Every structure is written in C-alpha cells, then in structure tokens.
Amino acid sequence: MCGIVGFVGKQQAAPILLDGLSRLEYRGYDSAGVAVVSPDGGIDVQKSKGRLQVLSDLIHGGEDMKGCIGIGHTRWATHGAPSDVNSHPHLSEGGKFAVIHNGIIENYVEIKEFLIHQGVHFRSETDSEVVAQLLEFYYNECHDFLEAVGRVLRRIEGAYALGMLCADCPDRIIAARKDAPLLLGYGDGEYFIASDVTAIIKHTREVAYMEDGEIAILTTDGIVVEDALQQPVEKQRHHIDWEVSAAEKGGYPHFMLKEIFEQPEALRRAISPRLKDGRVTLDDMKLSAEQIRNFSRIFIVACGSSYHVGMVGKYNLEHLMRRSVEVCLASEFRYSDPIIDDHTLVIVISQSGETLDTMAALREAKARGAYILSIVNVVGSSIARESDDVLYTWAGPEIAVATTKAYSTQLAVLDMIGLAFGEALGTVDSAEYDAAVEGLQKLPEQLEEVLANCADIQKFASEHFNHNSIFFIGRNLDYALGLEGSLKLKEISYIHSEAYASGELKHGTISLIEDGTLVVALGTYGRLFDKAMSNVVEVKARGADVLALTTDAHRAEMEKTVPNVLSIPNTVDMLLPSLGVVPLQLFSYYVALQRGCDIDKPRNLAKSVTVE
Ligand code: F6R
C-alpha cells in the first residue's frame, strides 16, 4: 500500500527520501515520486511509474534535486491507473503546493467539479490531486499555509495521511492524518514524517504517532502538533528498539525466507515472558478474571492470514473455554449488524495494526459496547491504540508481503489467551493445561527441528511447481491450517489453490480431482488421523498426486499409502498448526522460487491494506 516519507533538516533531502522509500517498497507499489523545496524558489517534483530504481536513475540517486526539505511517496493505484501523471507528489496548478496522500478522499468528485467550475485544470485521474488544488484555491483566498490546510481538512471526507509543501513557506512540511497511519520522527536537528517506522529508523528511533484530526508542522526547529481545535498537543514519544538489520535481508535471498527462519526466535519473544512457574501469565493484559467470566459472547475479527489464525483459535478456544467463539472476516463483520453488547469480547488480530477493514470492525464493535482485546505486531499502531487491551506479538518487523512469523506469533498469543481464559473460567483440564504449557515452552525448539529438515520440501516443490491448481484438505485443526497453506501458495506462486474440509469433498469438490491433480493432505490431528487417511485414499483413487503432512507418530502409517510424506514433531493437539504451518510456508516459498515469482512483493498485493 502507499508509502509516505518526509524530511526537514540540513542535508540534501532527495537521497534521504529515496532511501526511505526503498524501505517501504515491501508494502507494494506501482509508482514513486519525490518533491523538494528548491533553494532557487518553487517546488521541484520528479515522479515515475514503475520501480523506485526508475525514479532513482532519473534523478541520479537524488543528487540532481537540491534542497533540504522534501516529501516522497510510493503509490499503490486505487483511483486512476499506475502512470507518471497519477503518481504522487501532486503539484497544484500554480505550482505552489505539492502533496502526497495515503488513503481515499471520498468526496473528491464533488470537490473536483467545484474546482473545475472555478477554472482549475486537473492533470491526473486521482482523488489525491484535489488536495493540492484545493490547498492552492484556499491559499489564494487567505495567504496562510496552515489556515489553507485547515480549510482543506474541513472540506475533504475520507481517510488520509498527508504530507504538504508550500513554495511560499519553504521552511516547512505540514502533515495531517485521519484514518491512515502517519508518524513523526525526531532526529538531531532533523525531523521526519513516515507512514511506517522502517522508512526512517536509519535516522532516528524516537517517534510519535499522529492521531486522527492532528496537524503537524515540521521545521528545523522541531515539530509542533495541533489538534483539530488548533490546540497544541504534547506528543508522547516512543523509542523503537528494533535493530536496523531486522529490516534487512541478512544474507537470505528473500525477506520471506528470512522471516520463516526467524520464527523460533520470534516465538521465544512472544511466549517466554508470558510463561511463569508453569502458568500462562498475561501481565500485559488488563482484563481481570471476573471480567473474563462476564463475557457471554466472543468474536475473533481479522483479515487474511490473521483471520486464519482466528480459524485455528476457534477450535482451541472453544475447547479450552467451553464458550462459543465466532470468527469473522473484518470486511464482513463491519457491515453485518453484529449482535454485541457490553458482555461481548472482540478479539481483533492484525500484524500491521493498520488494516482498514479490521480497524473499522473494531470501531463498530466498540461503539456497540464490546471490550476490544487486540493481538498486534506493530507497537503503537492504530488498532493497538484504539483497543481496550493489547497483547503484542513481538515478532519484529515483517517485511515480506506474505506473512509468516506474524501468523505464528499471533497463533501462540491466541493459544495463551485460550489457556489463561480457560483457567479463569475453570474449564480447562489441569493435565491438559500443563501439557500445553510444556508444549509452548518446547515450540521454538521444535520449530528449529522442522526448519532443519526443509530439504525434502524443497525437493518436492522442485518436482511439483508446474501445477495449475493445488488443493489442501484436512479436518478440524488441519482444515484451518489448510486455509493458511492455500493462501500462502496462491499469493506468492499465483497457482490457483483451494482449501477444503475433507468431509466436504464428497459434497462437490471431489469432481475436480483427476489424474495428476496435486492434493496436499493434512493429517496432523491424531484424533482424526484415520478419517484423514480415508480421504487420502479417496483422492488417490481418483488419480491425485498426494503430498501428506502428518506427525512423526503417524509418519510410518501414512507412508504405507503416500510416497511423499512430511512430518512434524509430536506435540499437544492445540499446537499442531503452529508446527504444521512451517512446511506449508516453505512449500509455497520454494514453489514460487521455481516459478521465478517476485516472492517478497507479489503482484497486486500490499503489505498493509489501508483502503477498503
Ligand atoms: C497474507 C497476508 C494478509 C494479511 C491481511 C491482514 O500473507 O499477509 O492476508 O494477513 O492483509 O493484515 P494484518 O494482519 O496486518 O491486519
């Protein structure tokens, strides 16, 4: 999704902006641009469709653009095709204002018609250009940059993170935010705006997150922030303790592979501090045992892979808590008139903490009285800030578009919620609880074991990367796991794939199985192993080529029927998907590698989906 970076300081801005944009590439984009306040007066804008390298070559790594104040943007097209002219920054007709924008201006058509009627000429098809043109229109009336910004913000509707330059006020950037992430960076005599901390972490670790309605004015003297009522706001600063190297590849060919291999460490960070004396201790959660007992309805709300974490969680939480748990896609939940009262708990799951649908679902649930407990990776993100309670996953920055370590850590945190709530409710069997805690303790180590045995997966992938369609089948926890395996495969390899509950095969899907169809049969859940086997036999009988995943305990049994078997170490039932997901991630990775796909930045996808 679109990326924003802005710089005010004493160094030449353009190379810093390009570097910042390069760190946002992972979010997905189709064009890029920068604008710099030129020392000779005026604003210099350079932008181009395609990779950032195209822009960088055009301006010789930024050397060609003089000036120490500027803004940069990577665009992910929504309104108007990817093209040079639709790229940001947008310059107003008179050249006085340059604007970068993330989000969507919902009433842009009406504003555009109004401005055209006033004689303004538009260049692009974007909604964002109206901001630049409207700024100039109001500025021509009031001759005050900040006042013009205020008038624009009162006129536009929708979501925005904005960075704005004015040729008449060459010492500053003005930034504004509503429903789209934007943070401020505090360096030594230099200041930044960014949509994502990775863009500026090389320069500063001191950041503050802008809130909806706030306006920030950045000059070399510092950053002044005002709220919507023009009252000064004292921003709370956060120290980012990620290493810069965490956002670099560190010798791996792709971020995705690096992040797959980081999972044991990420799980240690997510789990260890929350296990004390054999008990799950969620010190970072505010909910009391009494509040937990008072919940009569529980929802899990998320998108994509985070939703798949919820699908696994439903099985585990219902078993541990003996309460029904409804798992909802955030994009559906927000418009579903959900039945919520003040005895409702909504568990929101999001890696980025900025997914617009998830955020909207959270707000809907909160407005109806629900208690919001979120599981989030990005500290200080919008979802984290608007939740009543947050459990961070501490997975570190996830750069590859396809999530891996965020999925694993979200799942571990959700499992720990299940155990802690089960204990508070008195619904979890104590021997099962102890075994689960032991399993959680061993999980990182067992994952290392799975990763050490990845050669078989690579070999199988190199023999089966040419399929047009791949099915994942499984029951119960294995079905939920299959949903994630299938999504991972399709998003990075572009192979059509579906996940089915094995019991459903006979009700329609089995008609798709023919000679040579590849079926990934998931049979890790021991209690239903025999049923999984009979589904394997069924698809084999129709000519399917089967890759099976099971546990070490069942490997020999599975090998009697299937030549290609992968296995994971034995563990308690609830943790099987936590181990099982790793071979599936690796399978997708190696298939995509064989097919020459752009693994870290798959086509049409963005890391953080901040539009509806
Ligand atoms: C798939 C993937 C997406 C995200 C989804 C939600 O690999 O990464 O499906 O899981 O866009 O994103 P977050 O978790 O940031 O809300």
Distance of alpha carbon 324 from its chain centroid, rounded? 27
* DSSP per position, 241-259: ---GGGGS-TT-SSHHHHH
The whole-angstrom separation of Cα 85 and Cα 80 is 10
Asked if 443 contacts 266 with a C-beta cutoff of 8 angstroms, the reply is no
The tens digit of pLDDT for each residue in 313-324 reads 999 999 999 999
Among candidates 434, 433, 437, 421, which has minimal Cα distance to 322?
421
Per the listing, tokens 């706030």 go with 214
Q: Which atom of ligand 1 is nearest to the CA of 407?
A: 10
Maximum CA extent, the chain:
81
Tokens describing residue 413: 């945190």
Tokens describing residue 56: 């960088």
Helix 477-493 crosses helix 304-321 at what angle (to 10 degrees)? 170
Domain residue ranges in the chain: 3-241, 247-451, 455-594
Mean pLDDT of 212-218: 96
380 falls in which pLDDT band (50, 70, 90)?
confident
Asked if 101 contacts 162 with a C-beta cutoff of 8 angstroms, the reply is yes
Poorest-pLDDT segment among 81-85, 328-332, 544-548, 590-594: 81-85
Q: Could you give the C-alpha distances from 362 to 142, 156, 221, in angstroms and in order?
A: 39, 24, 38
Distance of alpha carbon 229 from its chain centroid, rounded? 32
Give me ligand 1 centre to Cα 305, in Å: 5
Mean pLDDT of 236-257: 81
The tens digit of pLDDT for each residue in 172-187 reads 999 999 988 899 999 9
E-strand ranges in 246-370 read 275-276, 279-280, 297-302, 325-329, 344-350
The tens digit of pLDDT for each residue in 125-153 reads 999 999 999 999 999 999 999 999 999 99
Say if domain 247-451 classifies as CATH 3.40.50.10490. yes
Report whether the peptide linkage leading into residue 563 is cis, meaning its omega lies within 30 degrees of zero. Answer: no
Mean pLDDT of 502-522: 93
Q: Which of 358, 403, 584 to mutate for ligand 1's pocket (most ligand atoms within 8 Å of CB)?
A: 403
Asked if 39 contacts 51 with a C-beta cutoff of 8 angstroms, the reply is no
Q: Which of 382, 605, 609 to mutate for ligand 1's pocket (most ligand atoms within 8 Å of CB)?
A: 609
Q: Which atom of ligand 1 is nearest to the CA of 404?
A: 7
The whole-angstrom separation of Cα 446 and Cα 444 is 5
Pairing of strands 469-474, 518-523: parallel
E-strand ranges in 187-280 read 191-194, 206-209, 215-219, 222-226, 238-239, 275-276, 279-280
Mean pLDDT of 522-532: 96
User: Nearest C-alpha to atom 9 of ligand 1 is from which residue?
Assistant: 304
Among candidates 133, 110, 109, 111, which has minimal Cα distance to 121?
133
What pLDDT is attached to residue 605? 84
Give me ligand 1 centre to Cα 162, in Å: 24
The three-class DSSP label of residue 47 is: strand
Q: Which residues pair with 373 in a beta bridge?
A: 347, 389
**Each residue of 566-586: b (16+ CB within 10 Å) or e?**
bbbbebbbbbbbbbbbbbbbb
What pLDDT is attached to residue 218? 98
The tens digit of pLDDT for each residue in 25-64 reads 866 678 999 999 999 889 999 999 998 999 999 999 999 9
Give me ligand 1 centre to Cα 470, in Å: 21
Q: Which atom of ligand 1 is nearest to the CA of 355?
A: 16
Reported pTM: 0.76
Do 3-241 and 455-594 come out as alike in CATH topology?
A: no
* DSSP per position, 89-124: SEEPTTS-EEEEEEEEETTHHHHHHHHHHTT-----
Residues whose CB falls within 8 Å of the CB of residue 96, separated by 6 or more in sequence, listed in order: 43, 135, 136, 139, 166, 167, 168
Among candidates 485, 476, 490, which has minimal Cα distance to 524?
476
User: Nearest C-alpha to atom 11 of ligand 1 is from which residue?
Assistant: 304
Helices (H) and strands (E) in the chain, counts: 19, 26
The whole-angstrom separation of Cα 342 and Cα 533 is 45
The amino acid present at 512, given as its one-letter code, is: L
In the chain, % helix, strand, coil (3-state, to 5) comes to 40, 25, 35
Q: Which atom of ligand 1 is nearest to the CA of 303?
A: 6
Pick the CATH number of 455-594 from 3.40.50.10490, 3.20.20.80, 3.40.47.10, 3.40.640.10: 3.40.50.10490
Share of the chain above pLDDT 70, in %: 99
Catalytic residue annotation:
2, 607
In a 13 Å sphere around the CA of 199, the CA atoms on its Cβ side amount to: 32
Among candidates 284, 252, 290, 287, which has minimal Cα distance to 270?
284
Which protein residues are within 6 Å of ligand 1, measured from CB? 303-306, 350-352, 355, 358, 402-403, 487, 491, 608-609
User: Nearest C-alpha to atom 5 of ligand 1 is from which residue?
Assistant: 304
Give me ligand 1 centre to Cα 410, in Å: 11
Give me ligand 1 centre to Cα 191, in Å: 30
What pLDDT is attached to residue 181? 84
Among candidates 57, 12, 56, which has minimal Cα distance to 38?
12
Mean pLDDT of 94-116: 95
245 falls in which pLDDT band (50, 70, 90)?
low
Mean pLDDT of 401-409: 97
The three-class DSSP label of residue 570 is: coil
Task: Calculate the average pLDDT of the chain.
Answer: 94
Tokens describing residue 262: 């980081």
Say if domain 3-241 classifies as CATH 3.40.50.300. no
